[in-house]
Amino acid sequence: MSQLSRLLNVSALLLAGLLLATSMPAVAASDAEKFVQMTRELEADPFGEGQQAKRNWMLYWANGSGEVSLLVCDIFRPIQTKAGEHAGMLVTQTLFGNAAFQVENPKQKDDVLATQHAGLASSLAVYAKLIEQKPEARFDYFDELLAAKRLGTLKDSVAGLIEGKCDLPKDDDDEK
């Protein structure tokens, strides 16, 4: 089992424990807007007070709302080995950015490149804040992606990264 799979499994177990241990409110229509707002707040201040509680609620919402469909492409191996204690936060922020994009752009919900680009851009916003506060947390993989974002070429970089690394659901037509 890859480290990413273990990380995602641990996250799912933690979320399941949280759901069992607390009473979660029903998902409401305005929760989608709240999710997008919280995503932007995490991008601006990933280490602020109460941010972990936001992440917990956001994982709950993304998993249970039915409004988003999250696809995790296998582009995170360098994060696992180099980001250390921050790997989970960066991967999770990618999911949040992806979901927020889908809420804001429902017609592009199935556009893998657009959703992966949005997710990675969100994660890079958090990474930029991370290295401002903890310069020792830098690692080349995200530094290169951050440079691409600043140059306006991130979408092209993402296209190259995700090629062949997304387990896309097969259409019934693909099986004929």
Q: Show pLDDT as tens, one digit a residue, over the chain (176 residues).
A: 555 444 444 454 444 444 444 444 555 448 999 999 999 999 999 998 999 999 999 999 999 888 998 887 777 766 666 557 788 889 899 999 999 999 999 999 999 989 999 999 999 999 999 999 999 888 888 899 899 999 999 888 888 888 777 765 555 444 44
Give me the pLDDT at residue 59, please. Answer: 94
Sequence-ordered list of residues with C-beta below 8 angstroms from that of 67, at least 6 positions apart, any chain:
32, 102, 103
Q: Are 141 and 78 a contacting pair, CB within 8 Å?
A: yes
If we measure between CA atoms, which residue out of 66, 106, 56, 78 comes closest to residue 3? Answer: 78
If we measure between CA atoms, which residue out of 86, 38, 90, 94 comes closest to residue 61? Answer: 38
The secondary structure of residue 141, as a DSSP letter, is: H
Judge whether 174 lies within some domain.
Answer: no
Judge whether 175 lies within some domain.
Answer: no
Give me the pLDDT at residue 17, please. Answer: 44
Sequence-ordered list of residues with C-beta below 8 angstroms from that of 162, at least 6 positions apart, any chain:
73, 75, 112, 113, 116
The secondary structure of residue 105, as a DSSP letter, is: -
Judge whether 171 lies within some domain.
Answer: no
Judge whether 56 lies within some domain.
Answer: yes
Give me the pLDDT at residue 99, please. Answer: 96
Number of domains in the chain: 1
Judge whether 176 lies within some domain.
Answer: no
